[in-house]
Amino acid sequence: MTKPFQTAIVGNIQALNVLLPAFKAVPSFAVEALCGRDPELIRAAAAGAGVAKFYPAWELLVADPEIEVAVLALPPFLQSQVAVAMAAAGKHLFCEKPLAADLAGAQAIADAVAAHRRVAVVNFGFRMIEAFRDFRAIVQSGVLGAPQLGMVEWLLATRRDPTMTWNWKSDARQGGGAFNMMTSHILDYLGWFFGDILDLRLQTAALVPARPEAASGQLKPVHADDSSSLLLTVAPNLPVTVTVSTAVCTPQGHRVRVWFKKGMLELANAPADDFHDGFGITFHPAKNGGAGLDQEVLRLAVLSRMARCYPGRITINRRVAEEFALALAGSENRAPTLADGLRVQRWMERARQSQK
């Protein structure tokens, strides 16, 4: 076995609770450093995980010549700055989505990675879920015919509480908002399922228009959406609607529905399921097509009754890390690439432009 890559995990809650155990479970990576803005939290986490180094500032980590891989779990506005510096220092990158708060920041990351010949992946974890892979395989097999109509709904209540304090998630300029955090995932898997997105029309709303500041308790206006609707066209001519929210009163979970001539294919989890959990596929045959359904379509209807999958966040991130390791070794892999992240950022920019 080749020597594992000396790896640093950068960030706080997501980094320590999910990415740290995920990367420690992959033999290709040796987690040797943690970095975050809370020195006591990082020091305690490093001690608990047996990690030798901890840095209270990312600028200090950049200067560590022994670290070969930087695993980033940062707000988009900060990730673009940190990723560029890490790539320039010769470190490979595992980035969160979206890459940056705007297209210019995402392009800066791509330019830095190319200039310094580094490898970078983007954490679009839905690609690692079995049900999403099966859904894509069915769509691309053509057995149901050409897709005719698509609908995506991802409706949560995670930020409905108006007493939650104002932070970067309340500011779209920093990369906050449901559109940035949720629709970026959806755009990635729609492109993965179907191909290029030709047209986008966006509408956004803030159902919780103000939040208290942590220090003073004074209400501060929210400058990011917590709900959005997107109308898009996937090549060559597939209309898709995308509705997301983190502030609805009755959460509905995450559901993807696509209609074909032979029936409707549904990919969904339940409101109580965690981020990556509970997804299963259901096939609904066309009412007027029962007698003409071929055996392959009938098989899909049977398979759709299989148990739903519950991999958990750590497992999904471990799978992305495993694909990242293959990319670093120059092997064929399924990790979402930097090009995938940049493509999503371009689509997001076009959607924002449609509001002006």
Residue 98 placed within a domain: yes
Residues 280 and 205 grouped into a single domain = yes
Task: Give the domain range for residue 137.
Answer: 130-310
CB 72 within 8 A of CB 96: yes
CB 182 within 8 A of CB 246: yes
Cα–Cα distance list, 15 to 23, 127, 203, 310 (Å): 10, 20, 31, 21
Residue 346 placed within a domain: no
Residues 141 and 242 grouped into a single domain = yes
Number of domains in the chain: 2
| Interval 254-290: pLDDT, tens | 999 999 988 899 999 988 888 889 998 888 888 765 4
Residues 108 and 185 grouped into a single domain = no
Q: Are strands 53-55 and 29-35 parallel, antiparallel or unpaired?
A: parallel
CB 165 within 8 A of CB 212: yes
Residues 299 and 160 grouped into a single domain = yes
Residue closest to 348 by CA, chosen among 154, 107, 87: 107
Residues 96 and 39 grouped into a single domain = yes
Residues 110 and 152 grouped into a single domain = no
Q: Please tell me the predicted confidence (pLDDT) of residue 297.
A: 61
Most trustworthy range by pLDDT among 196-210, 291-305, 330-344: 196-210
Residues 165 and 240 grouped into a single domain = yes
CATH of the domain at 329: 3.40.50.720
Residue 237 placed within a domain: yes
CATH of the domain at 240: 3.30.360.10
Q: Please tell me the predicted confidence (pLDDT) of residue 68.
A: 98
| Interval 211-242: pLDDT, tens | 999 999 999 999 999 999 999 999 999 999 99
Residues 20 and 76 grouped into a single domain = yes
* Alpha-carbon gap, residue 183 to 231, rounded angstroms: 12
Residues 114 and 33 grouped into a single domain = yes
Q: Please tell me the predicted confidence (pLDDT) of residue 296.
A: 65
Q: Please tell me the predicted confidence (pLDDT) of residue 145.
A: 87
What are residue 236's phi and psi, to 5 degrees?
A: -85, -30
